[in-house]
Structure 1
């Protein structure tokens, strides 16, 4: 078993446990033991354990783990390579961690295609200037980023180098305004949809979409299928689907396989499939009722981010919205800001003009930082605890 960044032996029956080395030691050991005990109990072979994003976990040690077979990981990599027309002449720049499907996926794609992988992290952390310098120096042709990292490139006004063919963007909502600003600077960004449970992306915009300016459709890749169920949730089937979950709970450790008998997995996302492309409407937990009126807080965050980006490219990652319980209304929207009071009011004024009255922010929290994961995702449970 390994927790280092050494290359995986993709064809061995050995299992690997890949966890964030910066986690507190007690939490790290609790999750490592969970994976080790589960695979021994089930006689699991040829699998890799990866943590989900953990954005809603009440503690690090309660983070849900997914077991992905090496066959699933390779199925994903082969499909992505085909979609990106990748071969041994490509150079991937890597800023997503080895212990996340995004970073691990790059390594496996390169191993199968013969492409080169160049790390673009600075002292194991994201630095937009270092990334850009590496991109130029190494003449990288492919990369994978999360929207927060695209924000940083746009905020710096960096022009994409001509040798860069494509950047797969996943791990969060990719807003239209940000997409347009990135494309205006020449960045060949391809919106995608995926999750840890599918070993990375299962749907990605086409290379041909880079010849157009509108936000492209996110088409299903060759190894995956999707459908909408009767409740409106997206169900997926893929050669890259995970084998099982494992998690530490207050009642002890548990493991389970949530897939249906026919192999389909029901996601937490509401959405539909239109002519082979996914249209994601948001996660079930993002739907709230304010005074009896329903709304989607993820959509409201998108509106806020667009307003912030319109005013200043550096602002979107410094302000967000959080739904909070309300005795009177059931729920209400609050704003969390790292900006000055004046700048915060500018963003919220523009936001208020674009939403319904009940969707406006009713309270503002000024903080010194918004807790985020290594991929830039906001850790909502931790943020709620801080408030």
Structure 2
């Protein structure tokens, strides 16, 4: 088993299992045993097991694992290096976990380019001030962040260091207003789209987009193609595609490969126009309220932008989700860490921008909004709190 400090041997036939060391021991062991069982069953060689984000899994032990070949990881890394024009002169500031495809991807890119990687975590955890000080002291040129981390930098009004060439932003929706605030502070942020199944990003804004403050297009990288199927879902074909899934279920261990003729159907709706990816949201985000259709991800974006307009730190302290309703089928609820007065201001601003049926019908005040190591909200855990 590979630890968080162990460097991945890209050219060996050994398999590696990269799991979050902070998982409860029982869950860690269940996932580790799953990976061992399936790699033996499928006779896998030269693969790395990585867990998906697990934001909807009902328990950590039932999180889906993804088997990525080392060739897939190197294909992705080569394409990203080409896109970012990365060389041995670059210095990556690393704050994404080794056990996540975003963090591992940085390490592989750096190895292929001969670039340097500097850990910018504080005691193994994200800290905006520490990250900022590392960027300056180490003269970092490249980095990768999730939107939550960009929020923190904007909330502190940090001005980007002049040595920084680009920051790839992925792992969640990157709101336009947050993008504009980051760019106004000089941060060279490049929106991207990717997933564990593709060994990181497959579409990213280009470096020329940094000459403008307009939200940029995400062009497909050299190793990937995409299309929309008849149901409106994005399908991806890439040299970096995963080999198979593995999961613990009530019926025992399971592994499967969902690709059809080399194409992987994602859970995202979207379009591909002239090599540019336009993502419209996940299928699970489309719900009906009293017979009217809406997109929860879009509503969440509206709420976050309203919160951001009031205070840069507020978007991390309030969210919304759909809850079952006997009368309407589904209804919108707000979840807040803020005071009643602060929440009321955000809800009022939000309600002015949405249709009547999309307005919140209840506000929950909680002490904690559970998040993953990458800042993604763990929706199953949040629902259990309510």
- The two structures have a TM-score, normalised by structure 2, of 1.00
CA contact (8 A) 1:203 1:221 kept: yes
Output the CA distance in 1 between the equivalents of 2:305 and 2:141. 29
What is the CA-CA distance between 1:213 and the residue it aligns to?
Answer: 1.3
Structure 2 SS opposite 1:361: coil
Structure 2 SS opposite 1:126: coil
Output the CA distance in 2 between the equivalents of 1:42 and 1:295. 42
What residue is the counterpart of 2:75 in the other structure? 75
Structure 2 SS opposite 1:86: coil
Q: Any idea what the Cα deviations from partners look like across 1:269-326, whole Å, max 9, x if unmatched?
A: 0001011111001000000000000000000000000000001001001000010000
Q: Any idea what the Cα deviations from partners look like across 1:88-121, whole Å, max 9, x if unmatched?
A: 0000000000000000000000000000000000
CA contact (8 A) 1:3 1:16 kept: no
Output the CA distance in 1 between the equivalents of 2:56 and 2:241. 22
Output the CA distance in 2 between the equivalents of 1:145 and 1:4. 18
CA contact (8 A) 1:323 1:331 kept: yes
What residue is the counterpart of 2:350 in the other structure? 351
Output the CA distance in 1 between the equivalents of 2:94 and 2:207. 20
What residue is the counterpart of 1:231 in the other structure? 231
What residue is the counterpart of 2:337 in the other structure? 338
1:1-387 alignment runs, 5 A limit: 1-260=1-260, 262-387=261-386
Q: Which runs of 5+ in 2 are unaligned?
A: none
CA contact (8 A) 1:287 1:297 kept: yes
What is the CA-CA distance between 1:3 and the residue it aligns to?
Answer: 3.2
Structure 2 SS opposite 1:234: strand
Output the CA distance in 2 between the equivalents of 1:5 and 1:69. 20
Output the CA distance in 2 between the equivalents of 1:295 and 1:64. 28
Structure 1 SS opposite 2:153: helix
CA contact (8 A) 1:322 1:333 kept: yes
What is the CA-CA distance between 1:250 and the residue it aligns to?
Answer: 0.8
CA contact (8 A) 1:77 1:105 kept: yes
Structure 1 SS opposite 2:381: helix
Could you list the runs of 4 or more consecutive aligned residues of structure 1 that deviate by over 2 angstroms after TM superposition? none
Output the CA distance in 2 between the equivalents of 1:213 and 1:108. 30
Q: Which runs of 5+ in 1 are unaligned?
A: none
Output the CA distance in 2 between the equivalents of 1:71 and 1:5. 21
Structure 2 SS opposite 1:333: strand
Output the CA distance in 2 between the equivalents of 1:342 and 1:17. 47
Output the CA distance in 2 between the equivalents of 1:385 and 1:176. 31
What is the CA-CA distance between 1:42 and the residue it aligns to?
Answer: 1.1
Output the CA distance in 2 between the equivalents of 1:384 and 1:178. 26
CA RMSD, Structure 1 to Structure 2 (Å): 0.5
Output the CA distance in 1 between the equivalents of 2:144 and 2:18. 19
Output the CA distance in 2 between the equivalents of 1:361 and 1:281. 22
Output the CA distance in 2 between the equivalents of 1:184 and 1:354. 25
Q: Any idea what the Cα deviations from partners look like across 1:99-157, whole Å, max 9, x if unmatched?
A: 00000000000000000000000010000000000010000000000000000000000
Output the CA distance in 2 between the equivalents of 1:363 and 1:94. 40
